[in-house]
Amino acid sequence: MEGKPPDWYEPGLRHVWLPYVQMKTMRRPLAVTRTEGCRIVLNDGRELIDGVASWWTACHGYNHPHIRAAIERQLSVMPHVMLGGLAHEQAYTLARRLAALMPGDLERVFFSDSGSVAVEVAMKMAVQYWVNQGVRTRKKLLAFRGGYHGDTTGAMAVCDLEAGMHALFLGFLPEHLIADLPVDDESAAALVRLLEERASEVAAIIVEPLVQGAGGMRFHDAEVLRRLRALADRYELLLIFDEIFTGFARTGTLFACEAAGVVPDILTLSKALTGGTLPLAATIAHRKVFDAFWSDDPAHALMHGPTFMGNALACAAANASLDLFEREPRLSEVAAIAAALRQGLAPCRDMRRVRDVRVMGAIGVVALDRIDDVYELRRRFVAEGVFVRPFGATIYLTPAFTIAPDDLGRLTDAVIRVVGELE
């Protein structure tokens, strides 16, 4: 950080515990005083063009006036009431609107407060779906190498433990089946062999459709999802699409499942749901799943209920975000970003350290052979006036959909310069 930090910085830094970082050796985080559109304004006055949209949440840019007004209005009426025994307009309206956007009979919305919890709920729904029908042997999930579904215990257990960041918890986590995505005939045949042997233990398949995000921004095509749907049907498994990253147009269609023409049985959303303003997540169940809970037996109810589920401020923000998807040209903006990323990142293809350049929707990826000093790389990006946060050996851009063409050009130019300089 340049210049003198603000008064709150040092005293707070001694007490805050930061994510995913060795705090002894880390570089100090940049102090931010405000955000505007696609800009992050630092305490020392510098403005960075944001290439990450705060972990992929701020899809309309920061401080969108329509979302801000909705939150302010809701705050003056009622910030929160619990959903146990009480009902409020924002949550009920949001449930109805999300159900209307979903393909097929995905129509029951269970709210929670983070993506990981939405995944936990999806997994519990899947297991209890079978238990409610008297099947007590289907307690495992089938998940995929390269996948990431969150950091809570249940969600960690369906991540790629060996490649991902959760390997040290091996032995603590419940064991599920982790397979290769069926991207070709060989991997598809291997998956069939696994299911022939073990499908009777499996409650559901869980997958991030089209893009495995935090696991390395790896793309697969829609055919993989059609294969998974067919296998789920053949072996009578539920199919869960984790659209926490891909949902709300990131890959080019409003939801990734649309691109494949596949309807999952359960779908999870979070991140861009509130346009990057407040924490909220949703687990959306197909009618067939909900029907297995609809009974005269109280024990068949879904046993889950986060304190802040359906928070009125967050639901007001999400309803306002949906207004923006309805009335502003987000899908064509994403298509324009995809074209600009393709063109803007193309020069990286010929660079020595680059292994792959790929683009899907508003996701641009430059995969390197390795990153030796991630802090130095991040510092170089800040020196270029942009905020880009590489992980593993991957540099990626996931800007807000409202980013101006010039700003997007500055992001891709910065990637070209920084990657071009690598030894």
Positive or negative torsion for Cα 171, 214, 240, 326: positive
- Contact range with ligand PLP by CB under 6 A, out of 136-144, 195-203, 239-247, 259-267: 239-247
Considering just the CA atoms, what is the radius of gyration of the chain in Å? 22
Active-site residue 148, yes or no? yes
How near is the Cβ of 394 to ligand PLP at its closest, in Å?
Answer: 14
What is the pattern of x (binds ligand PLP, CB under 6 A) and - over residues 47-86?
----------------------------------------
The single residue of 113, 129, 160, 271 carrying the catalytic annotation is 271
State both tokens at 109.
């919305």
How near is the Cβ of 116 to ligand PLP at its closest, in Å?
Answer: 3
Among 74, 116, 319, 402, binds ligand PLP (CB under 6 A): 116
Active-site residue 62, yes or no? no
How near is the Cβ of 173 to ligand PLP at its closest, in Å?
Answer: 16
33 phi, psi to nearest 5 deg: -105, -30
Among 60, 88, 149, 410, binds ligand PLP (CB under 6 A): 149
Cβ atoms < 10 Å from Cβ of 101: 17
The residue among 11 and 19 lying less far from ligand PLP, judged by its C-beta, is 19
The single residue of 160, 242, 265, 407 carrying the catalytic annotation is 242
How near is the Cβ of 244 to ligand PLP at its closest, in Å?
Answer: 4
Positive or negative torsion for Cα 330, 333, 339, 340: negative
Tell me the C-alpha distance between 180 and 420, whole Å: 33
How near is the Cβ of 221 to ligand PLP at its closest, in Å?
Answer: 18
Among 38, 214, 312, 395, binds ligand PLP (CB under 6 A): 214
Tell me the C-alpha distance between 42 and 47, whole Å: 6
Among 115, 276, 364, 399, binds ligand PLP (CB under 6 A): 115
Q: Is 213 in the site for ligand PLP (CB under 6 A)?
A: yes
The single residue of 148, 160, 265, 407 carrying the catalytic annotation is 148
The residue among 272 and 414 lying less far from ligand PLP, judged by its C-beta, is 272
Tell me the C-alpha distance between 162 and 157, whole Å: 11
How near is the Cβ of 166 to ligand PLP at its closest, in Å?
Answer: 12
Q: Is 148 in the site for ligand PLP (CB under 6 A)?
A: yes
Cβ atoms < 10 Å from Cβ of 123: 28
Tell me the C-alpha distance between 110 and 302, whole Å: 10
Between strands 140-144 and 106-112, the pairing is unpaired
Q: Which of residues 215-234 bind ligand PLP (CB under 6 A)?
A: none
The residue among 208 and 333 lying less far from ligand PLP, judged by its C-beta, is 208
3-state secondary structure 373-399: CHHHHHHHHHHCCEECCCECCEEEECC
Active-site residue 265, yes or no? no
**C-alpha 22, offset from chain centre:** 24
Q: Is 270 in the site for ligand PLP (CB under 6 A)?
A: yes
The single residue of 7, 20, 297, 350 carrying the catalytic annotation is 20
Beta strand residue intervals within 236-362, DSSP E:
238-242, 266-269, 281-286, 354-360
Tell me the C-alpha distance between 153 and 173, whole Å: 7
Positive or negative torsion for Cα 84, 88, 91, 94: positive
Tell me the C-alpha distance between 399 and 40, whole Å: 12
Among 50, 120, 160, 208, binds ligand PLP (CB under 6 A): 208
Active-site residue 271, yes or no? yes
Tell me the C-alpha distance between 407 and 341, whole Å: 12
Size of the site for ligand PLP (CB under 6 A): 14
Q: Is 114 in the site for ligand PLP (CB under 6 A)?
A: yes
Q: Is 245 in the site for ligand PLP (CB under 6 A)?
A: yes
How near is the Cβ of 308 to ligand PLP at its closest, in Å?
Answer: 13
Show which residues are catalytic: 20, 148, 242, 271
**Contact residues: ligand PLP, CB under 6 A:** 114-116, 119, 148-150, 208, 213-214, 242, 244-245, 270
